[in-house]
Copies of this chain bind each other. A is one copy, B any other.
Amino acid sequence: MEQGGQMRELGKPQGTRVGIVMDNLRERIASRSLMPGARVPSIRVMTEALGVSKSTVVEAYDRLVAEGAIVARRGSGFFVSGHAPPLALADLGPRLDREVDPLWLTRQSLQPGSKVLKPGCGWMPASWLPERGVRRALRAIARDPQSPLADYANPYGLPALRQQLAWRVAQHGVEAPPEQIVLTDGGTHALDLVCRFLLEPGDTVLIDDPCYFNFQALLRAHRARIVGVPYTPSGPDLAAFERALVEHRPRLYVTNSAIHNPTGATLAPAVAHRLLKLAGEHALIVVEDDIFADFEDEAAPRLAAFDGLTRVVSIGSFSKTLSAAARCGYIAARAEWIEPLIDLKLATSFGNGQLTASVVHRLLVDGTYRRHLESMRAKLADAMGETMRRLNYAGLDVWTQPRAGMFVWARLPDSLDAADIARHALGADVVFAPGNVFSVSQSATGYLRFNVSQCNRPKVYEALQRAMESAAASGERKRA
């Protein structure tokens, strides 16, 4: 259920006083409480702090220099050796087989190649997005003498778009005036900025188990400790949530509540209320990724709406519903957090791209987006019904009937392992999304996430069927 924060196993204290001093420093270096390059406490300080003689500390430091753990610099004391190696996300956290590694699925999904089918992909095919609308918006922007084509964006982001967003989030009950909305380059950038603002390395973050797989990679990039809470069809398991609050004292909880990824579940109002009460009691901040807001026919409960942006930060984007080529997202947060968020945004990206923000703005105000959403929802509802019917026919169990959206979370029959299915299907150029990609506890072995907009080709089900047969056969071989 938990990862990160492992302490390297160290040798037993040598029993001697010199050994105690050495072990004290070795442990602080291994746990990174003393970072590479950091100054080691002076001999005087160590002597006082550890209550040992100066000669003991001197001998311990000499030995640590000899073994290369620390270095002496004339006149300025002792320092931890070397530099930390570059940050390789693939090396942080537990080593996973690539079939269930979130970064690997991201790469697979992003690889172009038109003959590959991607029922495990997290977005809709380009043909389901309003490409003609985007073309029309580009022509309009090219024509308009007022278009922002050269300059950097206003630090907050395009004012007209923030105005639109204030109105849109109000439709979901979230009251955020334009001054409390910050534009970003997409939803991931929004979450990244919020994590930069709120997290220190080593902070604990709660996520749903299962949850959107990139949350894990992003949080690892922030050196967060990740703790998963089981997700139920009406929201997180509140008993487990409370235990995690008590035991791990997390700083943040990151979730999508309206339509949950990957399960398609919707938060129940009672769960939302209880969750916010617990958050208040435990000084927890909640980041609600509302990226699937516009897939809903009727607005499900929003934590940000119940809470009034006190301890909930709401983020969103148009990458799933409009275009992922024109990166544009936003953060809605409490008023006094806006200025420091803007400072961080300027320092780390010098503001978001206003060309793409104006593409999105045009499509929101000219009616394209509204019309697109209507037809998209109808298409998705049809595809959802058809996909569930076919999955049932193939012998899979749907975990919960989604109210809307594009994801179906389904369990394989006969204890089949979804990673085996994904491996077999990849050979036939079909990318499935095995459950453990989404599960920090690796407890979703028997599940697959299906994107109904990418499941309308018979080849998907043929590949699924064949992969299930192969996996069953190799399972029997293993047992035999």
Contact = CB atoms under 8 A, between A and B. Distances in A.
Contacts of A84: 200, 203
A52 to B, nearest CB: 6
A346 interface: yes
Nearest to A246: B73
Nearest to A110: B155
A36 B200 contact: yes
A399 to B, nearest CB: 26
A87 interface: yes
Given A37-B249, A106-B346, A48 B13 contact: yes
A64 to B, nearest CB: 15
A44 to B, nearest CB: 11
Contacts of A139: 138-139, 142
A11 to B, nearest CB: 14
A172 interface: no
24 contacts: A20-B49, A20-B51, A37-B202, A37-B251, A50-B50, A50-B51, A51-B52, A73-B247, A83-B251, A84-B203, A87-B197, A106-B346, A110-B155, A112-B154, A131-B149, A138-B141, A139-B139, A149-B326, A152-B324, A185-B353, A188-B347, A214-B346, A353-B353, A356-B356
Given A150-B323, A214-B346, A35 B355 contact: no
Given A88-B340, A221-B348, A355 B325 contact: yes
Contacts of A131: 149-150
A352 B350 CA distance: 15
Contacts of A34: 33
A416 interface: no
Counted per complex, copies of this chain come to 2
Contacts of A106: 155, 346, 350
B89 A217 contact: no
Interface in A297-353: 319, 323-327, 337, 340, 343-344, 346-353
A248 to B, nearest CB: 9
Which 9 residue pairs across A and B have the least CB separation, nearest first? A217-B347, A126-B150, A327-B353, A138-B142, A129-B150, A188-B350, A152-B324, A135-B142, A325-B355
Contacts of A142: 135-136, 138-139, 142
Most buried by B among A83, A126, A251, A283: A83
B79 A155 contact: no
Contacts of A375: none
B37 A20 contact: no
A365 interface: no
Most buried by B among A36, A319, A323, A343: A343
A35 B220 CA distance: 17
A143 to B, nearest CB: 8
A103 B339 CA distance: 11
A28 interface: yes
A33 B38 CA distance: 10
A383 interface: no
Contact of A149 (B49, B143, B325): B325
A343 B106 CA distance: 9
Contacts of A343: 88-90, 103, 217
Most buried by B among A73, A186, A327: A327
Contacts of A231: none
A192 B150 contact: no
A359 interface: yes
A189 interface: yes
A107 interface: yes
A123 interface: yes
A240 interface: no
Contacts of A23: 49
Given A90-B343, A107-B155, A129-B149, 8 more contacts: A24-B49, A37-B203, A37-B204, A84-B203, A90-B340, A139-B139, A187-B350, A327-B349
A201 interface: yes
A72 interface: no
A187 B350 CA distance: 9
B185 A185 contact: yes
A198 interface: yes
Interface in A336-388: 337, 340, 343-344, 346-356, 359
Interface in A418-455: none
